[in-house]
Amino acid sequence: MKLGTFARITLVSAALLTAAGTFVVAQTAPLAPVEWDRRALDRLDRNVRRLERALTQRNAAGQPVLLEPDPETIALQGQTQNLDRRLSDMEATVQRVNADLERLTFAVDEARDDSAALRRRLSDAERRIGELERAAEAAREEAALSGPITANSPTGDAAQDLTAAVSLARTDARRGARALETVVITWPDTPQAREANLRLGDLRAAADDDAGAVQAWAAALQGWPRAAWAAEATLKLAEGLIATDRRTQACGALGEFTRRYAEGAPAALRTRAGQLRTRASCT
């Protein structure tokens, strides 16, 4: 394949310069621009052909023309290769960094999952510990409320012990009942013990424990005291006896009310006593 005119000119010129050695170019005024018409192009083509023939004859005579690359081009190629190597090294470094980042991201995700699992286990453990603590507290409280009652006076005075027990019963019926029972045991055969039994009967009736209420009211009325509360307590006892299907005993309690308390009792209590006699079918 033949080279173009300008390509041949370039090659031939470079060959002549290399073969002839180093030329000193004199500083001259710049040439006027060439007018490239058909005649000029033909002349240029003829000159190129002459140069080609001269190069062919020189090669045939054993004096080959060697084309040496430009040193600046070689240096530029070396710099380009160096830049290529540095770019390759940077690409390899970036790939390693990306791989490390992926491993770190995976490790962070695993650590986050492990942390969430630990938080769930910790929350579950705290919940179970709370349940155990509440159960233990309930067990201790139950043991304290279910244990045997012994004589004990927090204040050293029957009236003050009774007042404290009544106050506690208003906020905590179970603890209040235990405090009232403690008053009964600590101060037996006293007016405070009778009133404590009266209030115990009221607490048990409110808890639908009719049998327990009857027992406490009967203890309060033992000996038929002349206390202000005795008349109403007798009617409560009679009503409790009716509720527990002991009508004969209820009629006996109503007879005691008539003999001991009716005369000084309010009209409302006397009316209530008549209604209870009817319910118990008293003769």
pLDDT of 205-227, one tens digit each? 999 999 999 999 999 999 999 99
Q: Where are the domains of the chain?
A: 1-22+36-68, 71-147, 221-283
Q: Name the E strands within 35-153.
A: none
8-state DSSP, 150: -
**Mean pLDDT across the chain, nearest whole number?**
83
- Indicate the pLDDT class of residue 235, thresholds 50, 70 and 90: very high
Q: Tens digits of per-residue pLDDT, 242-283?
A: 999 999 999 999 999 999 999 999 999 999 999 999 999 997
Q: What is the pLDDT of residue 80?
A: 80
Handedness of CA 96, 97, 103, 107 (dihedral sign): positive
With a threshold of 0.75, does the pTM exceed it? Answer: no
Contact between 183 and 196 (Cβ < 8 Å): yes
Q: What is the pLDDT of residue 145?
A: 67
Q: What's the number of CA atoms in the CB half-sphere (13 Å) around residue 204?
A: 22
Angle at 31 between CA 30 and CA 37, to 5 degrees: 150
Q: Would you tell me how many other CB atoms lie within 10 Å of the CB of residue 162?
A: 23
- Indicate the pLDDT class of residue 57, thresholds 50, 70 and 90: confident
8-state DSSP, 209: -
- Indicate the pLDDT class of residue 31, thresholds 50, 70 and 90: low
8-state DSSP, 227: -
**C-alpha–C-alpha distance, residues 21 and 8, integer Å:** 20
